[in-house]
Structure 1
Amino acid sequence: MYKGKILIAAAVFSIGLSLFDANISIAEEKSTRFVSEEDAKYKAKVYMANVSKQSYPQWEGAQFRETKILHDFNGSVRGYLFQVKKENKDFGYIIVNGTDTGSSILESTREGSNPYKDVSESEAIYSGPIQYAKKADGKFIDILRDEVISKNDAENINQELNEKKVTTATSENTYVEKKINNVPDYTWYKGYTPTATANVVSYWAKNGFPNLLQSYEGSNQLIENLAKDMGTIQGNRSPEGKVSGGQTEMSKIVPGLNKYWNYRGYDVTGELNDKPSYEKYKKEINAGRPIIINTLNHFMYKDHSITGIGFEEMYMPEFNEKLSNIIIHDTWDETPVEIMLDYNESSKYIRNFVTINPFNFIDVPKGHWAYEQITYMAGNKIMTGYGNGYFGAQDNMTREQLAAFLYRHLKPVDTYENPYGDINDSPFKKEILALTKRGIFSVNSEKKFNPKNTATRAEIAAVLTKAFDLKVKANYEFNDMKGHWANEYVKALYSNGIANGIGNKNFGPSANVTREQMAMFLYKAINLDPNYIPTPI
């Protein structure tokens, strides 16, 4: 078919209640208001303009080449398909909701043509995210699998869906995207779960765990090894592309994953989370860790596993709509490489998550008070361990280490200007100079940086305030900060919820900062809560 990028936006709807096949009937259709084609086209244009402005400038100046009405299994209008075209080239498509229930935009891609390209309007069936069907000779055909949808499946389309609606929060006038790059998108082999898991394993093989996939091993061998360790009923693909078999029991995924990881010489923390949520998903992505998503046994999704690699949040002022999308890699070669699914809509089909955390430090067990923050830093390659299994959690942090950590997150412009006389032998000279040029570090009268000195709490307050442009939200003052050079910086740090005092209304400005403490401070600064309300000291 094609490879591109799909965006599926929020939609809460009631799928067909009685099929328009003469022999299929489900229940009485609920009353709903349908959107006209003219209104749908307006919404598509507004959406395209927002996307081109905020995330995909290639859509600027694009036009709609064709419009196609999509029906649900009841024969009612489910959506309107608009093919995007620019300079005689297909640039994806947009599917607008055909009803006033749920989001205006249900799905879109950034490249290629639409899955209904060779399907007439009267035969085009759309039932939800990447669920494309057509009607032919009185039957319903799954377009992606080229399989007949049985009458029983169609009649029970709603019975196995999660009914809980998930609410996600996105601030107005914002666009946020977090994506883990270089996660492969392997095509189905032996089974959905081992293929989706192989995407994650291969990513980590290129990011600090090379033994997971040796240079002489191909993707199919990796998938086959994982399938064996997970006890997958190995499936097959026919010459026509149809797949059969390949099921994996949920209870065997994590043990199989651990077995593979351990055999390759690594420890890993794999967990099956049967209470998935958007916030849990975001937390894994923000920590730099791809995630495995297992779907319900749905007649179109089947027992499917996909790989989560990112998320996108966008506010559309014209519709006053907030979109929260997860970015996934599927295991179907017929679908685009990157697919964006609205979490509210997709959550109805999600059964559980499998999280994979490869960062296990001897001195940072899972119950450690800063475990989440330290593994976040490791996953984002900001703060790593010593290479001997230890993170050095309680070791004091030096000023040059502080420079390295900030540099890896901020990515400032490098410079050769060197105002210091004591950093030529520092392994982090480049980082120190770039941050000084940016104004985060200051040059003292002695022209010394003191790279090996331990960073103090006052210095951390000053540096983080400058690095993240923190503002004082409340004029709360610690007893030992009155008249101190870093008083305003400490106020900014405290009033934004990044650091507390050490007791007795003191901050301890001269106290040393350990690596575990720095992981906590930096984590809070990176993930700053704009709605944080400080309490009086």
Structure 2
Amino acid sequence: MIMKKILVGVIFLATLIAGLAFLPAVNAQEESSNGTDTSNVVSAEQAEKVASYSIKEISESIVNFSEWKNATVKLSTVYYDLEGKKSAYSFNVIENEKQIGSIFISATKDNCPVLEFSKGKIPNEIPEFTTRSKLLVEERANKIKSESNNKEELTIGKMKPLYLGPTFYYAEYTLTDKKGKAKEKVIVDLPFSTIVDFNEPNVNVPDEKKHYFNSTYLQHQHEIRKQDSNTQWITLEKEMIDPSSYSTSSSSKSIRGVPKYKWYYGCSPTASGMVLGYWASHGYSYLVTGYDLVRELASAMGTDWPGSGATWPYKIDDGIEKVCNNHGYNNFDASNDIYVSWNEVKAEVNANKPFVLSMLNGGTGNGYTQPYGEHSVTCIGYYDGNQDYVYLHDTWDTSNVHYLAFGSWTGAMATWVRP
């Protein structure tokens, strides 16, 4: 399958956003012996209870996960951040002694309780990933040896699993000399089998568009995540004590009549095409539909096609308005919102206005083992409960609506489309 990507944040943002998303959340709270606040730290035992409770809710709220109803969970891996603090726990979901999925629980209450879940395997339990990561580190150690004057042998330490957010699965190895002195830390991206350097950006953003990706944006995203996560933990802990409160507090809504288009010319024009395709059948009949519409949007957005199908995020709204104007509708207001909140999502869906959601390092939607990564989708609904989900037409599948936990990304932008 070809990766359908959008340059929502560019790849160099991974270092900034990953650090912002997880480091501040745990660095201030860990060691009670040092007098620091540990109230937001989640133990492995607490995480297991949350995982057990959450898979039951998931089985009841998402049809494709109904087989999780009687399943159990088993701790797989304790993950850390770049500073060595615990960031997450992964659990295998077990039914009839077989692994049928996995769920990741945050190790801090400053991130949402359920970080991600899927029917796939946990990355660091996939032998191909771990074997390739070890080989890359061995190559790195040999290179250091060949470039040194004394040709000193280096010892490769035990792998430390890192989790820096949805799709951010890494393996950290420490190279030590004969005296046991650490010479270098090597971090490998497990799914992509590449050594990463978190101090080296590799893509430039046009100066006039850097406000989309600056530190103020990242800090704001972190504060939104932190506030929402704290609220989710409070609600979850209440419901775990009194499960009856769950049924009275949940709500959902889907927008009917939003078409499903398969990926064509790029995920951003395809997702935008589904939004305008909806409006074409709701009073704006002069708009073209289908792949003719997607092709026109790709041209208006400057999508890289023929090519990768990538679209700069700040061109999505302008492209939508241009196409609407081309067909005689100058009343459409399309706007990019890089501070998208859960309340905004619900308000837009409640008003029957589908929108484009563009993700940086998006998590794994239900029914998939592959994460969305850098991808644009059409949001057509929500589920508001213990865990919040968005309902998506994701350009990968024209048969089903897919679900994704809200916040299962390291950055996101909504493009509201309002006639």
Give the TM interval when normalised to the shorter protein.
0.5 to 0.7
Q: Which one of 21, 29, 32 corresponds to residue 31 of structure 1?
A: 29
Q: TM (normalized to structure 2)?
A: 0.57
Query: Bigger CA drift: 111-120 or 91-100?
Result: 111-120
Structure 1 residue identity aligned to 2:406: D
Structure 1 counterpart of 2:167, from 131, 156, 159: 131
In structure 1, what is the equivalent of residue 311 of structure 2?
247
Q: Specify which of 158, 164, 168 is matched with residue 223 of structure 2.
A: 164
In structure 2, stretches of 5+ residues that fail to align are 2-18, 31-37, 131-157, 174-185, 203-212, 236-244, 363-370
How far, CA to CA, are the matches of 2:76 and 2:189 in structure 1? 22
In structure 2, C-alpha distance between the alignment counterparts of 1:148 and 1:185, rounded to whole Å: 36
The CA distance in 2 between the partners of 1:151 and 1:236, in whole Å, is 28
Q: Deviations over 1:188-209 (max 9, x none)?
A: x554432332342345556676
- How many residue pairs get aligned? The number is 308
Aligned-pair CA distance for 1:126: 1.9
> Which residue of structure 1 lines up, in the alignment, with residue 276 of structure 2?
201
Structure with the largest fraction of strand? 2
Paired residue for 1:67? 76
Q: Report how far residue 357 of structure 1 moved.
A: 3.5
Deviations 1:374-395 (A, max 9, x none): xxxxxxxxxxxxxxxxxxxxxx
- 1:78 partnered with 2:87: yes
Matches within 5 A, 1:51-62: 51-53=58-60, 57-62=66-71
Q: Describe the shift of the 1:114–1:206 C-alpha distance in structure 2 as closer, same or farther (beyond 3 A).
A: farther
Matched, 1:291 2:339: no
Task: State the one-letter code of the partner of 2:269.
Answer: P
In 2, Cα distance between equivalents of 1:122 and 1:185: 42
Matching residue within 77, 82, 97 for 2:106: 97
Letter in 2 for 1:283: A
Tell me the residue number matched to 2:321: 258
Separation in structure 2 between the aligned mates of residue 14 and residue 257 of structure 1, nearest angstrom: 31
Conserved in 1, the CA contact under 8 Å of 2:91 and 2:103? yes
Q: RMSD between aligned alpha carbons?
A: 4.5
The answer for the alignment partner of 2:252 in structure 1 is 177
Asked if 2 retains the 8 angstrom alpha-carbon contact of 1:90 and 1:112, the reply is: no
**1:99-131 Cα shifts (integer Å, max 9, x gaps):** 35444322223x444455514594643212x33
**Preserved contact between residue 159 and residue 172 of structure 2 (Cα < 8 Å):** no
Larger RCO: 1 or 2 (CA < 8 Å, sep 6+): 2
Q: Call closer, same or farther: CA 1:339–1:53 in 2, change over 3 Å.
A: closer
Q: Distance in 2 between matches of 1:234 and 1:193?
A: 12
- In structure 2, what is the equivalent of residue 141 of structure 1? 189
Q: Give the letter for the 2:51 counterpart.
A: A
Change (3 A) 1:86 1:258: same
User: Partner letter of residue 322 of structure 2?
Assistant: K
1:5-404 equivalences in 2 (<5 Å): 15-16=22-23, 29-32=27-30, 33=38, 34-53=41-60, 57-64=66-73, 67-86=76-95, 91-109=100-118, 111-118=119-126, 119-120=129-130, 122=159, 124-128=161-165, 130-135=166-171, 138-141=186-189, 143=191, 149-152=196-199, 159=215, 161=218, 162=220, 163-165=222-224, 173=246, 174-180=249-255, 184=260, 186-187=262-263, 190-204=265-279, 212=287, 218=291, 222-234=293-305, 236-237=307-308, 246-248=310-312, 250=314, 252-263=315-326, 269-274=332-337, 276-294=340-358, 305-315=376-386, 323-330=387-394, 338-343=402-407, 349-351=411-413, 353-357=414-418
Q: Distance in 2 between matches of 1:141 and 1:51?
A: 29
SS in 1 for 2:22: coil
Q: Structure 1 residue 154: deviation in Å?
A: 8.4
Amino acid paired to 2:47: A
**Structure 1 residues 283 and 85 mapped into 2: Cα distance closer, same or farther (>3 Å)?**
same
Deviation at 1:228, TM superposition (A): 0.5
Q: Distance in 1 between matches of 2:116 and 2:361?
A: 22
Q: 1:183 to 1:112 in 2, by over 3 A?
A: farther
* SS of match in other structure, 2:73: strand
**Offset of residue 134 of structure 1:** 2.5
Q: Distance in 1 between matches of 2:336 and 2:107?
A: 34
User: Which protein has the bigger helix share?
Assistant: 2
Deviation at 1:224, TM superposition (A): 3.4
Residue number in structure 1 paired with 2:14? none
| Residues 314 and 264 (structure 1), Cα distance of their counterparts in 2 relative to 1, 3 Å cut | same
Q: Deviations over 1:5-28 (max 9, x none)?
A: xxxxxxx986247xxxxxxxxxx9
Residues 298-326 of structure 1: CA deviation (Å, up to 9, x unaligned): 9x9997544322222214xxxxxxx4443
Alpha-carbon distance, 1:210 to partner: 6.8
TM-score for the superposition, normalised by structure 1: 0.46
Distance in 2 between residues matched to 1:58 and 1:116, nearest whole Å: 24
Q: Which amino acid aligns with 2:107?
A: G
- Residue type matched to 1:231 in 2? G
**Superposed displacement of residue 255, structure 1:** 3.6
Moved more, 281-290 or 47-56: 47-56
Q: What is the CA distance between 1:267 and its match in structure 2?
A: 6.2
Deviation at 1:97, TM superposition (A): 1.3
The 1:136–1:29 alpha-carbon spacing in structure 2 relative to 1, beyond 3 Å, is: closer
On the 8 A contact 1:71/1:126 being kept in 2, the answer is: yes
Deviations 1:52-109 (A, max 9, x none): 4555544221233662333333343321112324457765421111235444322223
Deviation, structure 1 residue 291: 0.9
SS in 2 for 1:165: helix
Paired residues of 2:170 and 2:189 also in contact (CA < 8 A): yes
Structure 2 Cα separation of the partners of residues 154 and 72 of structure 1: 19
